Amino acid sequence: MSRPKVGIFGLTGCAGDQLVILNCEDQLLDLLGLLDVRDFLMASSEGDGQCELDISFVEGAVLSEEDVTRLERIRERSRLLVAVGTCAVFGGIPAMDRVRDRDRLILDIYGVKGREYDSLPARALNEIVDVDLSITGCPIEKTEFLSAVGSLLRGDAPLLPEYPVCAECKMLESNCLWIEHGEVCLGPLTVGGCGARCPALGIACVGCRGPVDDPNVASAMARLEEQGVSRDEIVRKLRTFAPMEVEALAE
């Protein structure tokens, strides 16, 4: 049986998700034995940029016309396209300013020289092309990536978390930072899969994995407002990693 041809790509972003893949040290050789990695610039400059691909993993948000062109080309040559990381899935931190005047922002930051830059408001991959699977996280969890690859190799749809970070806190029997300490913790609204790492260390969840499906935003906001937290502060915190999703939820 031939190994599936795979490409791993980065658009505009920090490349942290690609680094997580490279940091699969104990499993990396096994992965290379199962996958025919044809294009992965972070790992090797010798890539095949023309061949058809069975699976493409794409991280980063779309912030330029060049990103749009690259993504459309990747989509054309890929049987399956997987959005990897919060920026690819939700637009991430770069999308925080997309409701503002882009030309004004560029002028304020770069001056008149900015007029020459290829710069667009940040968009998630699914706003440009069809996405077959999304693995969120800032960065992604290594275990989720490996599990997803295993499922795809078996021909199954990966089972990714559909519960909030709060559920993982309960499983760990961690003290609730929200209820017990009155901290603005986004665990009830954020999709799990991280093992509630931050709350377990006494750090309130900042929502870096994006919103869980069908979050009870109204109830969470009402409870936080009872604790003296303003609605504006709640929305501001929620907007950090998935701003456009949050705008729709908070209406």
User: What's the whole-number mean pLDDT along residues 124-133?
Assistant: 97
User: Is pLDDT of 51 > 60?
Assistant: yes
Indicate the DSSP class of residue 241: T
User: Is pLDDT of 138 > 60?
Assistant: yes
Which residue is associated with the tokens 């948000």?
61
Mean per-residue pLDDT of the chain: 91
What is the pLDDT, as a whole number, of residue 163?
94
What is the pLDDT, as a whole number, of residue 248?
59
CA distance 113 to 111: 5
Predicted confidence band of residue 251 (pLDDT cuts 50, 70, 90) = low
Specify the pTM.
Answer: 0.92
Residues of the chain with CATH 3.40.50.700: 5-154
Predicted confidence band of residue 234 (pLDDT cuts 50, 70, 90) = confident
What is the pLDDT, as a whole number, of residue 247?
61
Indicate the DSSP class of residue 62: B
What is the pLDDT, as a whole number, of residue 220?
79
Q: Which residue has the higher pLDDT, 156 or 216?
A: 156
User: What's the whole-number mean pLDDT along residues 137-156?
Assistant: 96
Indicate the DSSP class of residue 113: G
Q: Which of 8-22, 120-134, 193-207, 222-236 has the lowest mean pLDDT?
A: 222-236
What is the pLDDT, as a whole number, of residue 223?
80
Give the number of other CB atoms < 10 A from CB of residue 40: 19
Predicted confidence band of residue 246 (pLDDT cuts 50, 70, 90) = low
Residue 187 neighbours by CB under 8 Å, 6+ apart: 164, 165, 166, 169, 177, 178, 196, 199, 204, 205
User: Is pLDDT of 118 > 70?
Assistant: yes
Return the SS3 of 150: helix
Q: What pLDDT, in 10s, does the model give residues 174-199?
A: 989 988 888 889 999 899 999 999 99
Q: Which fold has domain 5-154?
A: Rossmann fold (3.40.50)
User: Is pLDDT of 155 > 70?
Assistant: yes
Instruction: Please check whether residue 53 is in contact with residue 23, taking contact to mean a CB–CB distance below 8 angstroms.
Output: no
Q: What pLDDT, in 10s, does the model give residues 68-107?
A: 999 999 999 999 999 999 999 999 999 988 888 888 989 9
